[in-house]
Amino acid sequence: MSGTAGLAPEFDVSEWIGGPPDLSLAELRGKVVVAYAFQMLCPGCVAEALPQARRLAAVFPREMVAVLGLHTVFEHHEAMMPLALRAFIQEYRIDFPVGVDRANGRELPRTMARYRMQGTPTILMIDRAGRLRRQHFGHVDDIALGAEVMALVAEAASPQAAAGAPAGRGCTDGECAA
């Protein structure tokens, strides 16, 4: 995890699946945003992070908390093209918008690089004023997640920083490091 003072960098995506084409963080100002960076072939993303994202979206009203996916492909590019991602989203019944992080050849995709993510899954928590309040690589406990998100919801929209997080390239059962 790392806390940051400034605004969360805008997402640079080639398209949004399941959301309006002009979806952006700026557009979501006023809501708490929780974004899950994932890869469809990352076991920990599929088994843990995405189901948690679905539970989160079910607990908080959409007007209050926007849950987003961000497909940040940094390996096996040919196996995880948007076409495959669409099939994945359909079969796994993902019902929140998923952005396709803009590819950058063999470099890390644009948004992933911009946030200096260590791998997948990575959770981003952005407050109502658009500030990145927490970035966490790996798993977050459900109770702690509910508490953190509610703390952001409960804020008037006044800033404060938060903190704390783990960190290697290749996938384990739980996560994939860039």
Work out whether 149 is an interface residue with its own copies (CB under 8 A). yes
Question: Of 48 and 101, which CB lies nearer to its own copies in the complex structure?
Answer: 48
Work out whether 124 is an interface residue with its own copies (CB under 8 A). no
Work out whether 26 is an interface residue with its own copies (CB under 8 A). no
Work out whether 88 is an interface residue with its own copies (CB under 8 A). yes
CA–CA dist 145, 95 (Å, integer): 19
Q: To the nearest whole angstrom, how small is the minimum distance from the Cβ of residue 87 to its own copies?
A: 4
CA–CA dist 58, 94 (Å, integer): 12
Q: To the nearest whole angstrom, how small is the minimum distance from the Cβ of residue 124 to its own copies?
A: 17
Work out whether 165 is an interface residue with its own copies (CB under 8 A). no
Which of 79, 116, 157, 166 is close enough to bind its own copies by CB under 8 A?
Answer: 79
Question: Of 11 and 88, which CB lies nearer to its own copies in the complex structure?
Answer: 88
**Quick one: which segment of 20-28, 35-43, 108-116, 131-139 binds its own copies (CB under 8 A)?**
35-43
Work out whether 142 is an interface residue with its own copies (CB under 8 A). yes
DSSP assignment of the chain, as one string? ----SSBPPPP-EEEEESS-TT--TGGGTTSEEEEEEE-TT-HHIIIIIHHHHHHHHHHS-TTTEEEEEEE---S-GGGG-HHHHHHHHHHTT--S-EEEEPPBTBBPPHHHHHTT--EESEEEEE-TTSBEEEEEES---HHHHHHHHHHHHHS-S------------EE-SS-EE-
> How many residues line the site for its own copies (CB under 8 A)?
39
Question: Of 92 and 161, which CB lies nearer to its own copies in the complex structure?
Answer: 92
